[in-house]
Chain A
Amino acid sequence: MLSIIKSMTLNGIEGVIVDVQVDVSAGIPCWEVVGLPDVSIKEARERVRTAIKNSGYEFPSRRIVINLSPATIKKEGTNFDLPIAIAVLIASGIIKCFDSKDIIFLGELGLDGVINPVRGVLAMCIEAKKLGFRFVIVPRLNAKEASIVEGISIIPVETLSQTIAFLNKKIIINPEKNNIPDINKQNYQNDMDFSEVRGQKNIKRALEVAASGGHNCLLIGSPGCGKTMMAKRLTTILPKLSFDEALEVTKIHSIAGLVDNNVPFIVNRPFIAPHHTISKTSLVGGGRIPKPGDISLAHYGVLFLDELPEFEKSKIEILRSPLEDGKISISRVNSTVTYPCKFMLVASMNPCPCGYYGSEKECRCSEKEIQRYLSKISGPILDRIDIQVEVSSVKFDAFSSSNEEESSDNIRDRVSRARKIQLKRYKNEGIFSNSELTPKLIEKYCKLNKECKVLIEKIFRKMNLSARAYSRILRVSRTIADMNGCVNIEKEHLLEAIQYRNLDKKYK
């Protein structure tokens, strides 16, 4: 007898419907899975058989053929365990016929019949709702995550026998209560705040500018001066995520299996800080069957590369096109997937190999060593980093002073205001912030008055800047103008922006 059950798999960050077709017929007992399954699906055989047996039912000792349709998509993961088991039980007559067209099954089986959580439930439920399904049967532990989606009934199940009883209408399982998170309240707590950073007003201002315009930034400074501390607090001054943004972030984290089952909705902007030994694949995503990498996990958040020159050059270079496009396409033999990755790059580095160039301690590096160290960061990458500032060590008096430092919430209000101005201005351009301005758009939106033109010409001649530095200065000036609520770029905005490009000045 043939039975067909609906389940889902993932393609990139979107769910795809998969028909699990099981045929149980007379013949020599065997178990055949077709439809491009990977090893974890082939292993389902033992899990399904033992789980059925341990739930008190008989596993049919007949010829069982399973097809996962569409058979052209490569499938992986353990979420087909439950649908296969259900389909087998229907085909062997243990579960009576029910209307299976409207229900999607997801879940991994344990040998004792317990249903374990799976990855990517949120993305699949969103897609299921779009396609008009009415029920999704999910593992109990995934229920909270799935219930974020409105307009579809989430049935949480714990064991196989419970599921069988439910499908045979012997028991009733209440759908999980809709759990649309309050974006402003839920799990929004930062244990970090900018007020903990003493002094460093200049860098704080630079970071505020960076956050306001979405500019990538590079912090240069000797060891222990507070680069990492400030970078970590950057997410606390970025505007709060909107519901749709938060949903997208949660989706990606769910696919990577990184969502907390109890608090499944991510409302904080992610802060991802990979170690410099990270592999290329885990940085940008990939694998035989692609998974999102760290740059996608940092979507709408901050990707922090500590000690930038320690990263292998090739690893930094692969960030070029994602930085430009805000997405990454991963092509493998089996499939091509695209993951979003609109992140803000924040990097830190020492000014020289010994770390003390320009600080009070004596630097013992030769010019050649410093040049070699700096050349690890290529021009094209620097090109994409609008703000480069040097962090000096904090003096003791700033450290011990009782001056009230500004809190992150205050700064965030200003940042959000500046962002709103940009969103309004660029609504027809397909970009969101000043950092995305192309040379053509710079011409359109960063018009300079006569006084500014004279000034910037003078600056260029005096400081020997490149064309690359020119667009960078204009983009940052535009952001500073927005922060001050000015329509046009004024002289003082330019003058300030020029100070945020330390690496252009090079070392003298």
Chain B
Amino acid sequence: MGDEIIEKNIYEILYTDEKFPEYLKCVKPQIKRIFAYGNLSILQKKSVAVIGSRNCSDYGRKIAKEMTEVLVDNNIVIVSGMALGIDTIAHETCIARGGKTIAVLGSGLKNIFPKENTNLFHKIIESGGLIISEYSLDEPVQMKNFPKRNRIISGLSDGVLVVEASYRSGTSITAKYARSQGKTIFCVPNSIGNKNSYGSIELAKSGAKMVTSGYEILLELGIKFCKGKKCRKQDVDNKINNMDANTRAIFQCLKENECLDCEQISCKTDIDTIVVNQTLTYMELDEIVENIKINKYKLCDKYCE
């Protein structure tokens, strides 16, 4: 993808322009202009910022993914900063779920940072998303710019979800801006002493809303939602009824336990490991089970009551 293509399709929107997002007008320090690339119309939609640590944990990754999915399913635009870690997960989950996402860069649109996310940059555009920066196209990557761009992230969104934040992180800065802008901040419970939990816990202490699922965010923001895309129950029942003996035994076994590997399934069901392996491959293909961690299996959501 050439720079020229990007250059041609970029809008420069001045503060005085009609198109300038209403939300950003009251952001301080004042934004003089923004450069936008992509689908401008999504600026009008309800949006939530999903932000968090670059060095996120397994837990953070899971939470960010789950909550983003719920938000996207209810037509919320996801705003984030295209950094590594939680930001990337938020964008990617959103795209994979068929939603629209806005990335706010801290550098010029021609200098994508971090480099690893060049692909993501293009994917966002292809999926009908939007990329915004307040810096001119050629602005180099400078550390001092990143904290400042955080005010745009919070400014653009109706609420800010902080998944994981360490002590004195960029995430905390975004939260600070969000508070001064009067946005609702959501945070996620995490264990005390974990390096990634400091920020979330501090936020909770100072009045952020603690949430345990995406629906609570929707409720707080006053957005109507329907719970989950309940898949056709009949299909599931059909599949369960048509299982052969081994499949059924493994299915029952996984239903009683959260997640197991081949060895454990074999122990509990008394089926030979070879057969367990063969059956699991089938069940994975049929989307009855899914593979998590390295070789553990759990039932797909639709089979968990």
Task: Tell whether A pairs with B.
Answer: yes
A residues contacting B by CB (< 8 A) are: 199-203, 205, 220, 351, 357-358, 363-369, 389-390, 392, 395, 397-398, 458-459, 462-463, 492, 495-496, 498-499, 502, 505, 507-508
User: A202-B263, A392-B264 known; A492 and B293 CB under 8 Å?
Assistant: no
Q: Are B264 and A508 interface neighbours, CB within 8 A?
A: no
B195 and chain A: residue at smallest CB distance? A364
A484 to chain B minimum Cβ distance, whole angstroms, is 10
A272 to chain B minimum Cβ distance, whole angstroms, is 28
User: A202-B263, A366-B57, A459-B285 known; A496 and B294 CB under 8 Å?
Assistant: no
- What 0/1 pattern do residues 196 to 240 of B give for CB contact below 8 A with A? 000000000000000000000000000000000000000000000
Chain A residues, CB < 8 A from B293: 357-358, 507-508
- What 0/1 pattern do residues 266 to 305 of B give for CB contact below 8 A with A? 1100001110111111101100000111111000000000
B147 within 8 A of A: no
Picked from B85, B279, B285, B295, the residue with its CB within 8 Å of the CB of A367 is B85
User: A202-B266, A367-B56, A462-B285 known; A508 and B291 CB under 8 Å?
Assistant: yes
Chain A residues, CB < 8 A from B54: 368
Q: Are B277 and A202 interface neighbours, CB within 8 A?
A: yes
User: A398-B267, A458-B285 known; A505 and B277 CB under 8 Å?
Assistant: no
CA distance A498 to B285 in the complex (A): 11
Q: Are B263 and A499 interface neighbours, CB within 8 A?
A: no
CA distance A459 to B278 in the complex (A): 13
CA distance A499 to B261 in the complex (A): 11
Q: Are B294 and A499 interface neighbours, CB within 8 A?
A: no
Q: Are A200 and B263 interface neighbours, CB within 8 A?
A: yes
Picked from A392, A498, A508, the residue with its CB within 8 Å of the CB of B292 is A508
Q: Are A505 and B85 interface neighbours, CB within 8 A?
A: no
Q: Are B274 and A357 interface neighbours, CB within 8 A?
A: no
Q: Are B281 and A395 interface neighbours, CB within 8 A?
A: no
B244 within 8 A of A: no
Picked from B85, B272, B281, B296, the residue with its CB within 8 Å of the CB of A499 is B281
A369 to chain B minimum Cβ distance, whole angstroms, is 8
Q: Are A368 and B85 interface neighbours, CB within 8 A?
A: yes
Chain B residues, CB < 8 A from A364: 57, 194
Q: Are A367 and B273 interface neighbours, CB within 8 A?
A: no
Chain A residues, CB < 8 A from B266: 201-202
Q: Are A507 and B278 interface neighbours, CB within 8 A?
A: no
Q: Are B281 and A507 interface neighbours, CB within 8 A?
A: no
Chain A residues, CB < 8 A from B56: 366-367
A202 to chain B minimum Cβ distance, whole angstroms, is 4
A209 and chain B: residue at smallest CB distance? B274
User: A351-B294, A462-B284 known; A499 and B267 CB under 8 Å?
Assistant: no
Interface centre among B55, B293, B295 (most CB of A within 10 A): B295
Chain A residues, CB < 8 A from B277: 202, 495-496, 499
B10 within 8 A of A: no
B191 and chain A: residue at smallest CB distance? A362
B148 to chain A minimum Cβ distance, whole angstroms, is 25
8 extra interface residue pairs, beta carbon distance < 8 Å, beyond A202-B262, A366-B56: A199-B263, A357-B58, A365-B57, A365-B58, A368-B54, A395-B267, A398-B267, A507-B293
Chain A residues, CB < 8 A from B291: 505, 508
Picked from B61, B264, B281, the residue with its CB within 8 Å of the CB of A498 is B281
Chain A residues, CB < 8 A from B276: 202
Q: Are B61 and A367 interface neighbours, CB within 8 A?
A: yes
B42 within 8 A of A: no
B287 and chain A: residue at smallest CB distance? A462
CA distance A508 to B293 in the complex (A): 5
B224 to chain A minimum Cβ distance, whole angstroms, is 32
Chain A residues, CB < 8 A from B58: 357, 363, 365, 367
Q: Are B294 and A507 interface neighbours, CB within 8 A?
A: yes
A331 to chain B minimum Cβ distance, whole angstroms, is 39
B140 to chain A minimum Cβ distance, whole angstroms, is 23
B31 within 8 A of A: no
B141 within 8 A of A: no
B277 and chain A: residue at smallest CB distance? A499
- What 0/1 pattern do residues 50 to 69 of B give for CB contact below 8 A with A? 00011111100100000000
A204 and chain B: residue at smallest CB distance? B273
A203 to chain B minimum Cβ distance, whole angstroms, is 8
Chain B residues, CB < 8 A from A397: 267
Q: Are A205 and B292 interface neighbours, CB within 8 A?
A: no
Chain B residues, CB < 8 A from A200: 263
Q: Are B285 and A499 interface neighbours, CB within 8 A?
A: no
Chain B residues, CB < 8 A from A462: 284-285
B40 within 8 A of A: no
Chain B residues, CB < 8 A from A220: 294
Picked from A203, A205, A368, A392, the residue with its CB within 8 Å of the CB of B274 is A205
CA distance A502 to B58 in the complex (A): 18
B75 to chain A minimum Cβ distance, whole angstroms, is 27
Q: Are A499 and B262 interface neighbours, CB within 8 A?
A: yes
B137 within 8 A of A: no
B84 within 8 A of A: yes
Chain B residues, CB < 8 A from A508: 291-293
Interface centre among A389, A392, A459 (most CB of B within 10 A): A392
B68 to chain A minimum Cβ distance, whole angstroms, is 16
A52 to chain B minimum Cβ distance, whole angstroms, is 68
Q: List 15 A-B contacts (CB under 8 A).
A: A201-B273, A220-B294, A358-B296, A363-B58, A365-B58, A368-B84, A390-B295, A392-B264, A395-B264, A496-B277, A499-B262, A499-B278, A502-B294, A507-B294, A508-B293
CA distance A398 to B279 in the complex (A): 23
A493 to chain B minimum Cβ distance, whole angstroms, is 9
CA distance A369 to B84 in the complex (A): 12
Picked from A357, A369, A392, A496, the residue with its CB within 8 Å of the CB of B263 is A392
CA distance A507 to B264 in the complex (A): 20
Which chain B residues (46-93) contact chain A, with CB distance < 8 Å? 53-58, 61, 84-85
Interface centre among B57, B263, B266, B272 (most CB of A within 10 A): B263
A74 to chain B minimum Cβ distance, whole angstroms, is 51
CA distance A499 to B291 in the complex (A): 11
Chain B residues, CB < 8 A from A367: 56, 58, 61, 85
CA distance A203 to B274 in the complex (A): 11
